[in-house]
Amino acid sequence: MADLYPSLAHCAIVAAAFKVLLFPAYKSTDFEVHRNWLAITHSLPIQEWYYEKSSEWTLDYPPFFAAFEWLMSQAAVYADPAMLIVKNLGYDSWQTVYFQRSTVILTELVLVYALSRFVKSVPLPNRQAAHVASLSILLSPGLLIIDHIHFQYNGFMYGILILSIVLARKQSTLLYSGILFAVLLCMKHIYLYLALAYFVYLLRTYCLSLKSVFRPRFGNIFKLGVGVVGVFAIAFGPFAQWGQLLQLKDRLFPFSRGLCHAYWAPNIWAMYSFADRALISLAPRLGLPVNTSALNSVTRGLVGDTSFAVLPEITKEYTFILTFLFQLVPLVKVWFNPGCWDTFVGAITLCGYASFLFGWHVHEKAILLIIIPFSLIALKDRRYFSAFRPLAVAGHVSLFPLLFTASDFPLKTIYTVLWLVLFLFVFDRVAPVPERPRIFLFDRLSLLYLTISIPLIIYCSLGHQLIFGWDRLEFLPLMFMSSYCALGVVGSWVGFMVVYFTS
């Protein structure tokens, strides 16, 4: 590890210093969400945590994350006790801001530790590539934008995910991998999107004999079952005893929200919504009926708003079926290729793709569910990197609408562009030549996509306002950006599916 420079520790220190400078930066409603959760968990008995609704930002994460907030609140009382008063809605003293932003930086040490374990776990000839991939995750513009400006704790939880993935690399630590992933599910339920990949991999690799599926390992089944059930019993057992499981279900899974989030996460439904918008003007010429009641409310991300003017409506059932089917496809390879860690990580990535592309009310922040696990294998060879490249561009650029103030524009743009130029260049140098021939068309389309993205970003960020002003066609930049980023994510998904099944 001594020859790997700059080290993870050096970069973590420099990154932390830079993030401290961002303390006064824009903070979203998520900042108030987490301040409110600190107050709820500190000031109220556990039985009231999931019933309290003084604020519209009610507690809607699983019990382990609530316990995490409670733990932080024990230190918060020394920073500013007023932040822990439930009725202090919107409270943001400088002590509160500094405390909460500091906790994001400190808990991100879990990510640093997990990445160091990842680098040490790979064979020596591939360690440099693993180190580069680790640095790209640690310095990710996605984590910078979402956690350290917008405000969340994704770095901490992705650290747990990466550590779980690393533990799945060896037969001797598979049990700990499954238990740790169960802990993660009890912290943030969005990781359910990846649960099928874990279930199939652990079942086939740990619970059944590698030589025959008809030879169960009863000892391993018992240990894994007790471990996972024990984790969920600790997390949800008290609430079951108090008869609150239905209340938790309603808080964790609010299905009343619309198909598309307000920012149009770059997925299939963003492209579907764009097509519906385009067809509104063409419908009379094509003889298509138009739902006039939906003209002013087409998928703007509001609660319950899923109306389309021309195209058929999409229901929750459709999105669930599509997500489930496209998650099952890569798991076939996991089942028939047991014990292959790269296949497992690829399956996690493709499960992330399926949930992001076809899920209901997907947030743009969920793109990290694809980018981060994919980064671990993006440098396996140039075919993998070719599929990763458009995802890296589209995924990070799609996060720009989260920071919409004028002062944030140079920060998010310059940092993201520098990250893309640096790491895509280094990835291109480090990624080895594949054993199988690359697909010429995919490579050229990937480069074409990157080329077009540059003028599009300039137009959406600056050009539109200069041409039309601030009050005319204000929806166009966001619609163009979401749809074009969706094209990149879908193209990356198709490309990686080809690579995954031909490797």
Q: Phi and psi dihedrals of 80, rounded to 5? A: -165, 100
Q: What are phi and psi of 267, to 5 degrees?
A: -130, -170
- pLDDT for residue 446: 73
Identify which has the larger pLDDT, 156 or 363.
156
Q: How far apart are CA 373 and CA 359, in angstroms?
A: 19
Put simply, whether the predicted model's pTM sits higher than 0.85 gets the answer yes
Assigned token pair, 8: 């993870």
Torsion angle, CA of 74/79/82/88, rounded to 10 degrees? Answer: -90
Cα of 85 vs its chain's centroid, Å: 31
For the chain, the average pLDDT equals 89
Residue 444: partners with Cβ closer than 8 Å, 6 or more residues away: none
Q: Residue 158 corresponds to which amino acid?
A: Y
Task: Please write the tens of the pLDDT for every residue from 351-406.
Answer: 999 999 999 888 889 999 999 999 999 999 999 999 999 999 999 998 988 887 77
Per-domain residue ranges for the chain?
23-252, 268-502
Spatial contact of 400 and 296, defined as CB atoms under 8 Å apart: no
Q: CA 336 to CA 210: how far, in whole Å?
A: 10
DSSP letter string, 413-481: HHHHHHHHHHHHHHHHHHSPPPSSPP-HHHHHHHHHHHHHHHHHHHIIIIIHHHHH-SSSSTTHHHHHH
User: What are the b/e assignments for 71-94, b being 16+ CB within 10 Å?
Assistant: ebbeebeebbeebbebebeebeee
Task: For 8-31, write each residue's pLDDT tens digit.
Answer: 999 999 999 999 999 999 999 999
Find the mean pLDDT for residues 79-85: 96
Mean pLDDT in residue range 51-58: 91
- Which structure tokens are listed for 482? 């979401």
